[in-house]
Chain A
Amino acid sequence: MADPKPRVKVPKKASKGEVITIKTLISHPMESGQRKDKEGNLVPRQIINKFTCEFDGQVVFTCDMDPAVSANPYLEFNAKVEESGTFKFTWVDDDGSVYETENKIAVE
């Protein structure tokens, strides 16, 4: 499998105290563990089970995911920004892999 690519949409600028919308998507098959291959064998489960969004080290939003989340898991949520800083996004895979990306925001 190709390395999952995280994609994140964060506004570059916001005004102080504004509630911004963040959209994230990561390419990942989210193998549910329910599916069978051509030979009839169960395909083992491999999903991203946890997502975290932090802002300068403080947790903003997290999500525990189960196999019922679609492939290429998409998440949209909000954050209230009071000052400029960096959003850090983390996805944790069943096999222990961790995928990360960061986005800066300027608050005026």
Chain B
Amino acid sequence: MTFTRRQVFGLSAGAAAFVAFAPGLSFAATDKTDAAIKEFTGGATPAEGTVSLDTPEIAENGNTVPVGVSVDSPMTADNYVESVLILADGNPNPLVATFHFTAMSGVAEAKTRIRLAKTQDVIAVAKMNDGSTYIDRKEVKVTIGGCGG
């Protein structure tokens, strides 16, 4: 038997992925996502605010979804954003990209285009040079899933 693309997602994402879409659990994340955030923050729970995600509410094509992130920071030599982790909670592998900024970046803003397998939360976690971390998340409704062929 041959698997369709959607069946493959179901298998590889596993049961954990469905937990995140249970109603009323908008701030719950899959184990993989949680683990990725913990690894990035060194175990700390990131605070809300400071970092903001810019995503479309509805993405017609999950193969290329524009995603922007900006962090409120003066970006000086002793007060800047080190890195921002972008995660897609409902993808088979939630890791998307990590931006690393320096004081030479001027402002902590970056944009890229990502793949989303289905409707899900996109998450941004920012890490400052003093070690503090911040999180933002936005739901993106996906009409046609990406990641596949």
Which A residues contact B (CB, under 8 angstroms)? 19-20, 32, 34-37, 40, 43, 55, 58-71, 73-80
Contacts and interface: CB of A to CB of B under 8 A. Distances in A.
A66 B95 contact: yes
A21 to B, nearest CB: 9
- A-B pairs with lowest CB-CB distance, top 3: A80-B106, A19-B106, A76-B111
21 contacts: A20-B106, A36-B3, A36-B8, A36-B149, A43-B149, A58-B104, A59-B104, A60-B105, A63-B110, A66-B95, A69-B113, A70-B65, A70-B146, A73-B113, A74-B112, A76-B68, A77-B109, A78-B105, A78-B109, A79-B105, A79-B106
Given A68-B88, A69-B96, A75 B12 contact: no
B105 A63 contact: no
Contact of A68 (B91, B103, B104): B91
A74 B113 contact: yes
Contacts of A76: 68, 110-112
Given A40-B2, A63-B97, A32 B147 contact: yes
Contacts of A59: 102, 104
A66 B8 contact: no
B111 A75 contact: yes
Given A34-B92, A70-B63, A78 B106 contact: yes
Nearest to B100: A62
A80 B63 contact: no
B77 to A, nearest CB: 11
Nearest to B112: A75
B115 interface: yes
A20 B107 CA distance: 10
Residue of B64, B112, B148 with most partner-chain A CB within 10 A: B112
A46 to B, nearest CB: 14
B148 A77 contact: no
Given A69-B97, A77-B105, A78-B105, A34 B147 contact: yes
Nearest to A75: B112
Nearest to B9: A34
Nearest to B66: A74
B114 A69 contact: yes
Contact of B112 (A43, A69, A78, A79): A69
Contacts of B68: 76
